[in-house]
Homo-oligomer: A and B are copies of this chain.
Amino acid sequence: MVKMWTAGGVELKVGTYDDVAKKTSGRRYLRSQRTRYKLLKAARKVFDAKGFLDATVDDITREAQLSRGAFYIYFENKLDIFRSLVEEFLEEMSAEIEAPWRSRDVLVAIEGTVRGFLQAAWRRRDIVKVLFEVSAYNEEVAAERRKLREKLLLGIRTHLAESHAAGLTRPINLDLMAYILGGMIEHQAYLTCSYGQEHDPEEVIQTLTGVWYHAVYCRASPQLDQPQPPAK
């Protein structure tokens, strides 16, 4: 086992404004950054509480204690501020799930990947929830979501390729397997973030790890093996 997965609160970090003083007086810049931050924070809260569709720009500015007009200084519209949130989210998320690969022990690598993704998503579940919501009816956001998915798939694919090269896998279509396993994990993140932890998260990780491991490395059922190309 790698690390515990607590059910703690959502991590709130909508950018920082420490990179002060890029412009003129610094004071001014700080203030504007703080306002932008207030809006992002308010938006995140409102989206979490009401979902994207039911949220209005008014809700956000009210929550941020700013005028309606202020919103349009920093963002073009509701979708734009959401995109900003997602952008930030994707960066952080990507940075976080890029780490835990490599391990001599296949199981450790798998578990690390699974836990890493699920935990990273869970910690930002307020955004993830809305990200999945908006993906359902907005192509642009859906594309963003697919980027995240791609990140996960890429990791899985790489891992599978290495295992395959090492002769550890049973005969499978690596791409398709990555696609299925990635979907399984992404879907789990969706379920958990949207409906809460209906099952013990640690046990979920173990089960997912088990499914992945056996699906790829178990060699007990030759009749399921894919017809392999003679020698690539």
Q: Once the chains bind, are A214 and B207 in contact (CB under 8 Å)?
A: no
Q: Once the chains bind, are B107 and A211 in contact (CB under 8 Å)?
A: no
Task: Name A226's closest neighbour in chain B (CB-CB).
Answer: B206
Q: Once the chains bind, are A137 and B52 in contact (CB under 8 Å)?
A: yes
Q: Once the chains bind, are A215 and B220 in contact (CB under 8 Å)?
A: no
Looking at chain A's contact residues, is the secondary structure mostly helix, strand, loop, or mixed?
helix
Q: Does A187 contact B (CB under 8 A)?
A: yes
- Known interface pairs A53-B137, A136-B132, A210-B224; A176-B188 also in contact (CB < 8 Å): no
Q: Does A173 contact B (CB under 8 A)?
A: yes
> Which of B54, B170, B180 contacts A208 (CB under 8 A)?
B180
Q: A187 vs B221: C-alpha distance in the bound complex, in angstroms?
A: 25
Q: Once the chains bind, are A172 and B224 in contact (CB under 8 Å)?
A: no
Q: Once the chains bind, are B180 and A184 in contact (CB under 8 Å)?
A: yes
How close is A53's CB to chain B, nearest CB, in angstroms? 5
Q: Once the chains bind, are B217 and A173 in contact (CB under 8 Å)?
A: no
- Known interface pairs A136-B135, A180-B184; A215-B210 also in contact (CB < 8 Å): yes
Interface CB pairs A-B, < 8 A, 28: A53-B137, A54-B137, A133-B137, A134-B136, A135-B136, A170-B214, A172-B207, A172-B210, A173-B203, A176-B199, A176-B204, A176-B207, A177-B207, A177-B211, A179-B198, A179-B199, A180-B184, A180-B188, A180-B207, A180-B211, A183-B184, A187-B187, A210-B224, A213-B221, A214-B214, A214-B220, A214-B221, A214-B224
